[in-house]
Amino acid sequence: MEGRKTEGIEVLVFNDNQYQKNDDIVTYSMEDGTILLNNVTEEVTVINEIGAFVWNCIDNEKTDIQLCDLITSIKNQYHVDDETNVAKEITDFLFDLTQKNALIKL
């Protein structure tokens, strides 16, 4: 497995909050998700396929990602119908990654 270091200053804007990846995170892609390794704390976080999709959206050149665009992308790619649940799951996911210092809330 080859790790990929997070680089750059890509920012995710979500519900008027801005998130940026912690530069100490190295990612390892798996078939059904991604492993996030914090090189400083050595904390490992495993995220599922949809979590990896959200994580990778922060790498896109489009730095101002709106909630509705993210929900639409997830609905189309993963055939999910419940927008309210998707929005809650994304919010919880971003909160969890912020608590684990994988994401930095700006």
From residue 11, alpha-carbon distances to 38, 62, 103 in Å are 19, 9, 10
Q: Give a three-class secondary structure readout of 93-106.
A: HHHHHHHCCCEEEC
Give the sheet arrangement for strand 17-21, strand by strand: 11-14, 17-21, 103-105
Residue 6 has pLDDT above 90, yes or no: no
Average pLDDT over residues 73-98: 88
Q: What is the pLDDT of residue 1?
A: 38
Task: Note the pLDDT tens digit of each residue in 26-83.
Answer: 999 999 999 999 999 999 999 999 999 999 887 654 456 677 788 888 988 888 888 8
Q: What is the pTM of this model?
A: 0.78
